[in-house]
Amino acid sequence: MAQPQQIVTTAHMRPVQPSACPTRAFLTRLVPALAALAILAGGSAAAEQPANPLAGEAALSLECRVPGAQLYTVAQLGAVKAALAENRPLKILAIGGSAAPGASASYPAKLEAALEHALPKVDVTIDHRGLPGEIASGAAERLRTMVAEAEPDLVVWQVGTHDAIARVDVDAFASALTEAVGWMRSHGIDVVLVDPIYTASMAADVDYNRIVEAVRTVATQQGVPLVRRYEALHYLSSRTDKGEGHMLGRQFRLNDLGLRCMAEHVALTIATSLMRTEAPQEPKAAPAQPPLTEPQRAPG
Amino acid sequence: MRDPNAIDFWRGFALITIFINHIPGNTFERYTFSQYGISDAAELFVFLAGWSIGIATRGRDGNPEPPGRSVVRLLARTVEVYRAQLTVMLLALALIAGAALLLDNPLILEWHNAGGFFADPIQSVCGMALLTYQLGYFNILPLYVLLIGIAPVFVLVGRVSLVAALALSVGVYLASLVFGWNLPSWPGEGDWFFDPFCWQLLLVLGFVLQGWNLRTDLLRRWSRRLFPAGVAIVLLGIVLAVAEIRPDPMLVPEPRLLFTFEKTYLTPARLVHFLGVLLAFAPLYAVLAPRIGRVVGYLTQMGRNSLAVFSMGSILSLVGQLVRFQTGGGLLIDMLVAGSGLVGLGFTAWFVEWRSRSRSSRPRT
């Protein structure tokens, strides 16, 4: 299988390597917040190594633990920072996946809890909406209305699965996604993208991988954080799993695991991105400012 | 069995268009008229349903049948559509689950919001019976159930005054746009994909226009006079669609729904565009009918059996999506999928008529 290339290569994006020293100061600031995340995320794991630079991943519960480099790329979250600076509730619109209770849907509640622990004293409200249909045909339009109705500070968007399933042309998908993300950013709304899940039967599928890559490319170009769910699940699938099986087979167990872990992965990505966001000059007033992101600034 | 007529013809046309549009990403999608305007086949389908209610609640002589009979007739139709929706939903979920098992691919379970059902069958099955749990692309029939369910109100008001029925409908429509009324989805957050408070207007409009059309010549004269305006609106729609020009919902003034192109709320722009399409294309049937007899026969047979054809179309388009997904698509696959779909829909219409014929001609055993 073609391992999807890593887009972000700057050292301090990867809290895995303690020796990459410019990051040390940053990491020490990061630890307390992430430790808070850890408490709700799983408990015992965090207690084992509280002050370790590995804390980024240690914040994750054992079954969800993935090295940061394989889990996320960070970027600035100006609107969220501004909301925090103004001490107002943080409004998040979570889009995609099944907007129904059950295994997947503890997701919004979990995400809310995870974020409120990571960002103490901040009130987080999450609106979760399903978005059936393809971004390349129609769904992007519906997204705009949803966003206009909710007027959130941040949109967390699980994107690409429907388009991949419908075998939508990758370029059409990428340009529609670029437009949608650009539109939200032009209105001063932060966006976190979550790419499609990994499952063994799709691993060798060229089109599917191209959609995953397209999400990545758009996230980089638009300068928005990305939860690399595909790679994270791929990593988790490669670990020896002694855990309970699934009556429908291994892929279905992995799928459940992916759904359970998503809130943690998203929360960690947001918390890490926030740490790297400079304080806002004027809150939410200069949305047109293109975000300066690591990938554009420093290739190497 | 009715003779071929314009209503059944356009309804058949709408059914084909909906079938093609419900296989997203397929090659032929870009050749449907939905890609070249603000409104699409869904508007046509609901409008014609209203028009048909006008026909069905009148006798052959054009006089209204007794009110009680109309109410029972609409109730019977509501039950029929409700039953179709339940059947189609069950089959769709089974197709999705079956494909996921067969291909060992849990990704398929997330298809069209089906993941919610498999994650939480207890609430979802209740939502399915209540019509508040809808799969993507399986959301027209719930609207249809509701619209026919409330149609007796408008039909009865229409007996007194068609203007009053239309005024009531427009009032509800405008209020929903201003206050954003919609029915909630459950389980899960969000609202219905087709807002019944807004879409009822098209049904009532079809019903009222049918009544006026029957009563006076005024409507026909005006529609002939307004033909150029219809063509202008259609052309404008093509330009807007191709150039992807549309209002930014964050920038339009409040109440926003009066200004956007949102399908869920049948916003005024969509309504005006649809009326333009109606004006521009209504005369076309009379021109086409003598020239393309076969096609007219094929489409009108579908139009006569729209519920069965629509239901089968939903299932076939899902099968088509699964086939495209597994094979990777491509022109050849798309031709195969669309071709066998069109044959399948034609067969469905023929089969329904054959069954009702053979049922009525044979004594019951």
Number of independent structural domains in chain B: 1
Shortest Cα–Cα distance, B24 to chain A (Å): 6
Q: Is residue A155 part of a domain?
A: yes
Instruction: Identify the CATH number of the domain in which residue A231 sits.
Output: 3.40.50.1110
Q: Indicate if the pLDDT at residue B293 is higher than 80.
A: yes
Q: Which of B282, B314, B336, B269 is nearest to B28 (CA)?
A: B336
A167 touching B (Cβ < 8 Å): yes
Domain, as residue range, for B21: 6-361
pTM for this model (two decimals): 0.84
Model pLDDT, residue A139: 87
Instruction: Give the integer Cα–Cα distance in Å for A19 and A2.
Output: 29
Per-residue pLDDT tens over the stretch B196-234: 999 999 999 999 999 999 988 999 999 999 999 999 999
Nearest CA in chain B to A183: B248
Beta bridge pairs of residue A73: A226
Distance of CA A272 to the CA centre of its chain: 10
A26 touching B (Cβ < 8 Å): no
Model pLDDT, residue A280: 58
Model pLDDT, residue B362: 63
Q: Is residue B316 part of a domain?
A: yes
Q: Is residue A49 part of a domain?
A: no
Q: Is residue A296 part of a domain?
A: no
Question: What is the largest distance, in Å, between two alpha-carbon atoms of chain B?
Answer: 67
Question: Between A144, A167, A200, which is nearest B328 by CB?
Answer: A167
User: B174-201 as b/e, with b when 16 or more CB fall inside 10 Å?
Assistant: bebbeeebbbebbbbbbbbbbbbbbbbb
Q: In this predicted complex, what is the ipTM?
A: 0.86
DSSP class of residue A159 equals -
Beta bridge pairs of residue A127: A93
Residues 107-136 of B with CB under 8 A from A: 107-120, 123-124, 133, 135-136
| H or E stretch at B237 | helix B227-242
DSSP class of residue B256 equals G
A59 touching B (Cβ < 8 Å): no
Report residue B242: phi and psi, to 5°. -70, -40
Q: What is the mean pLDDT of residues B97-103?
A: 93
Do A130 and B188 count as a contact with CB atoms less than 8 A apart?
A: yes
Domain, as residue range, for A194: 73-263
Do A129 and B260 count as a contact with CB atoms less than 8 A apart?
A: no
Q: Which of A188, A214, A231, A227 is nearest to A75 (CA)?
A: A227
Q: Indicate if the pLDDT at residue B175 is higher than 90.
A: yes
Model pLDDT, residue A113: 85
Number of independent structural domains in chain A: 1
Q: Which amino acid is at A259?
A: L
pLDDT band at B62 (very low <50, low <70, confident <90, very high): confident
Shortest Cα–Cα distance, B241 to chain A (Å): 12
Per-residue pLDDT tens over the stretch B332-352: 999 999 999 999 999 999 999
Share above pLDDT 90 across residues of chain B, in percent, rounded to a whole number = 81
Chain A residues inside the 8 Å CB shell of B189: 99, 127-129
A148 touching B (Cβ < 8 Å): yes
Model pLDDT, residue B230: 97
Q: Which residues of chain A have pLDDT under 50?
A: 1-54, 99-104, 283-300
Where would I find the H helices in A160-244? 161-165, 170-186, 206-222, 229-238
**What does B101-158 look like in DSSP terms, one character per residue?**
HHTT-GGGGGGGGTHHHHH-HHHHHHHHHHT-S--TT--HHHHHHHHHHHHHHHHHHH
Q: Is residue B1 part of a domain?
A: no
DSSP class of residue B364 equals P
Distance of CA A211 to the CA centre of its chain: 16
Model pLDDT, residue A222: 95
Q: Is residue A248 part of a domain?
A: yes
Do B113 and A130 count as a contact with CB atoms less than 8 A apart?
A: yes
> Among all chains, which residue has been given the structure tokens 């209610």?
B53
Question: Between A133, A248, A259, which is nearest B136 by CB?
Answer: A133
**What does A52-104 look like in DSSP terms, one character per residue?**
-TTHHHHTS-GGG---HHHHEE----HHHHHHHHTT-PEEEEEESS--SSSTT
Share above pLDDT 70 across residues of chain B, in percent, rounded to a whole number = 99
